[in-house]
Structure 1
């Protein structure tokens, strides 16, 4: 009875307050909507790729870094500590393409630095294009374009989103380190021509002649000034994070009797390609930084409200790593000097673009292995394989088994390419031939496992080595049988480091985000290289590259 008596009063209160509550809620919703930002608009995005940088270089050399380079990016930005390539082979061309397309070779098509082209029956280079001419040199070094990359890049999408008003400039000592990040629509891509020249060059794909700021740079004495001895930045006795300076695991320049500091570049100049020699020293990274700073001014990057993009690849780290190996004092000195170049670049961005007005990401195109000869001396399983010996043995098996030595057309990038015409003419079953050869190769020294193209076609792998191989497998371009060598087993010289495998020493690389729109923090959750481009696209509020398979790293975005 009491409930019935008070029910009308309660209903009156509820009904009377409902319109007010609804209006208040609408106002709150409206305010919330106004505070939501659909995009962040930095004046400039800077993409940094450090060639052959393992993740543990960041931690190993940390105490030698200053506060303004790697430490600034990591401490004030976001550090993805467990970042990996999710495909193989892990090479420079596929690495740069994957960073900027947000996908893997299975989609973007850059399956190696070079690969056997099944249509032409010849080896092709990832950035080579003889339909264009060189700009800035009379050599063929400028005959390049991104035409073998099948998808758009984050740089392409920025250009499209801004109706081609946002500028994209790409810079690297290596042509592929500039051409692939620049995408199909870059305003300019530049790389260093060595030999007698020492000049930054380009291709008619981008321009008919070099801009004045580039010709001015080439005419200056900036590059020539690095023709000087290379000694350690600090007292070499403080380089405790590296092995002995004098050891048998390192290569030497022509004319050197030992791989020890100092390296007298003026004396070694003529025998080692003249300006090409600088690429295999940390001075190559400094030259790259010098040129990037000139590009900021010459192209007026980050000077208006339309976002521009500067893609810079530091290649000397790769050249030094290949020659001296990951435990060398030369590698340590190169990263300590690179840290100073990064600080120089960031300070220039603060001044020219404005602190808080630009966004940076830093990653690598692949890692590198410990020198197998060194590991063997430490009683760790490791080794070398000789491709010629393997190929000779395989040819004998194929001729004995199938009655012909014309079955194999090419062996490259740990893949066997078969002649499908011969297989059809002999009325053989392609799947069975692939399987037979794969089983044979399993018995060869240094081979850990094999897979066939048929397996790549018929299965969808979700994890492990098959997943990594499948992401690197392109149906139109890849081979018939895929090899995986044992851990720490390589096809390389007994000195220096290399890369290309499915293993963590090649896949685990840094990923740092910094600047406008980026949270401060870190994560140990696994991230993958194809996630970079979607993360930047989400930040900018633009379309993902059209072949993107990665996902934005939501923890990074502010």
Structure 2
């Protein structure tokens, strides 16, 4: 029977006709390779602030000779790494992907769930802890790479990142993910994808590439006066000392897990990630034939730097400049190995970053830090007073309260009644801006209320909690230098850049774009359907 090949041929012809008729794309040869760069934790405001200090052909390749969507945003409320990476190539927000956060509480069992955790898969050649990320089993929708591999079985889809979730979620169900191993300084995949690493991965790791950075110094790229627009080093509110130059592994006698882990909050782990991507292009022959391939590269260093010292720090400022130069060198290699006119590059971020509360306070804004345990205690105290039951809220999970089902059953209490009371108790706390219950989010009954749509896009009925909440602007949980995870512009507004002369007309685009638009845009260029869960729209890249 040859029905399947004939059906595939018919689908290919139909897609070609659709592509030719689409006003969003020019009729041109498909790219041999699509490269998606994700700079973890890069807010758009940093790209704008330091544009004059960029190298000629790093980020400036996009800004000067590509498309720059100046108003690109995430359309949901809890802006964290896993949720963002799940959106990028699915075109779907958490209410469809099921990736509501980096981790969450299983409502039925009370157990912690990690976004890319999978007890059936383990790292290759490395110990695997119970909550380590090893597969995309929690991702409820398909990715662009999944669709491409269905249409083109010879297509290769590969993702690499300093974080497991930064590789696994863009790789999707049918791609291959490699993640940085902080115990060894190498990269590994998991048994979900393969039994053993291919030879090129073994060769890369065998060379101990991270060791070349042992006792290397992270030095400022520019003269001191160039950093006048960012905060000086060693601010009193930094959770750990932060000052350049910074020597890697300064207290260690030899490279080891402590040193390898510390590389993540520096430009050196990003250099390693890009080196591994170079090895993948050569080892897998990405972009070498007429079948399109996808390579997703998630660069994690900026997020680690911003968490420790904030996006307003000189360390973050300089880190972005180092990363810009690393990208320039990588583009030169892509031009040489794949061919300048044969690949399409897109760069974005998985979320932005809020200014540290101390920075906002110095600017005269209402800002502060909040203790999650104290907030939970206050809500539970209010509920106990009303229902004569202690600890009715079991936990905080992915920016939501989870109500204890066992307590409800034992005491004959109704979930909706307790959720309504928990919402009232939350809103009585000044740092809380909005809160909505499971019933309200499921029904859409509060449409038009403050932050409701963004919070509804964050909430998934199967895995989210019972009362979703958002803090007031410029407030955060914890004592990190800074963080993200809000529905406000500093967290939702990220760069969205594209380059590829055959497919992209150069120039800024001022209209609002959604990060969910990336997947259907790339699908149109590749001549395949958008992923089934997609809720974005194709962006106009060509004239």
Distance in 1 between residues matched to 2:244 and 2:364, nearest whole Å:
28
TM-score of the superposed pair, with normalisation by structure 1: 0.89
Aligned twin of 1:479: 465
Q: Compute the RMSD of aligned alpha carbons.
A: 2.0
| CA deviation profile, 1:299-330 (whole Å, cap 9, x unmatched) | 10000000011110000000011111111111
How far did residue 464 of structure 1 move?
Answer: 5.5
Aligned twin of 1:267: 250
Structure 1 position 151 matched with structure 2 position 141: yes
Aligned twin of 1:60: 49
Structure 1 position 431 matched with structure 2 position 431: no
Structure 1 position 76 matched with structure 2 position 65: yes
Larger displacement relative to structure 2 (37-46 or 106-115): 37-46
Aligned twin of 2:201: 214
Aligned twin of 2:14: none
Distance in 1 between residues matched to 2:201 and 2:349, nearest whole Å:
26
Distance in 2 between residues matched to 1:287 and 1:342, nearest whole Å:
12
How far did residue 421 of structure 1 move?
Answer: 4.8
How far did residue 462 of structure 1 move?
Answer: 6.3
Aligned twin of 2:218: 230
**Match for residue 343 of structure 2 among 358, 362, 375:** 358
How far did residue 427 of structure 1 move?
Answer: 3.9
Aligned to 1:556, the other structure's residue is in SS state coil
Distance in 1 between residues matched to 2:202 and 2:294, nearest whole Å:
22
How far did residue 377 of structure 1 move?
Answer: 3.0
Native 8 Å contact 1:130 1:143 kept in 2: no
Aligned twin of 1:117: 106
Aligned twin of 1:127: 116
Aligned to 2:209, the other structure's residue is in SS state coil
Aligned twin of 2:5: none
Native 8 Å contact 2:398 2:464 kept in 1: no
Aligned twin of 1:200: 187
**Match for residue 317 of structure 2 among 332, 335, 355:** 332
Native 8 Å contact 1:382 1:487 kept in 2: yes
Aligned to 1:46, the other structure's residue is in SS state strand
Distance in 2 between residues matched to 1:41 and 1:79, nearest whole Å:
21
Larger displacement relative to structure 2 (64-73 or 259-268): 259-268
| CA deviation profile, 1:64-117 (whole Å, cap 9, x unmatched) | 111111011121111110000100210000000011110100001000000011
| CA deviation profile, 1:181-208 (whole Å, cap 9, x unmatched) | 000001x21111113x111111011111
List alignment gaps of at least 5 residues for structure 2: 1-19
Native 8 Å contact 1:326 1:496 kept in 2: no
Aligned to 2:316, the other structure's residue is in SS state helix
How far did residue 406 of structure 1 move?
Answer: 4.9
Aligned length: 516
- The structure that has the greater radius of gyration is 1
1:27-46 → structure 2 map (5 Å cutoff):
40-46=29-35
Aligned to 1:522, the other structure's residue is in SS state strand
Aligned twin of 1:17: none
Q: Relative to 1, partners in 2 of residues 1:266 and 1:437: Cα closer, same or farther, differing over 3 Å?
A: closer
Aligned to 1:359, the other structure's residue is in SS state strand
Distance in 1 between residues matched to 2:86 and 2:56, nearest whole Å:
31
Aligned to 2:217, the other structure's residue is in SS state coil
Distance in 1 between residues matched to 2:301 and 2:436, nearest whole Å:
34
Aligned to 2:189, the other structure's residue is in SS state strand
| CA deviation profile, 1:128-180 (whole Å, cap 9, x unmatched) | 11211221324448761000000000111111110x21001110010100000
Aligned twin of 1:551: 537
Aligned to 1:295, the other structure's residue is in SS state helix
Distance in 2 between residues matched to 1:91 and 1:290, nearest whole Å:
26
Native 8 Å contact 2:182 2:257 kept in 1: no
Aligned twin of 2:525: 539
Q: Relative to 1, partners in 2 of residues 1:246 and 1:410: Cα closer, same or farther, differing over 3 Å?
A: closer
Larger displacement relative to structure 2 (263-272 or 290-299): 263-272
Distance in 2 between residues matched to 1:542 and 1:149, nearest whole Å:
21
Distance in 2 between residues matched to 1:39 and 1:249, nearest whole Å:
53
| CA deviation profile, 1:41-69 (whole Å, cap 9, x unmatched) | 11000011100000011111111111111
Native 8 Å contact 1:39 1:538 kept in 2: no
Distance in 1 between residues matched to 2:318 and 2:137, nearest whole Å:
37
Native 8 Å contact 2:200 2:283 kept in 1: yes
Aligned to 2:379, the other structure's residue is in SS state helix
Q: Relative to 1, partners in 2 of residues 1:143 and 1:181: Cα closer, same or farther, differing over 3 Å?
A: closer
Aligned to 2:509, the other structure's residue is in SS state strand
List alignment gaps of at least 5 residues for structure 1: 1-31, 253-257
Distance in 1 between residues matched to 2:392 and 2:365, nearest whole Å:
37
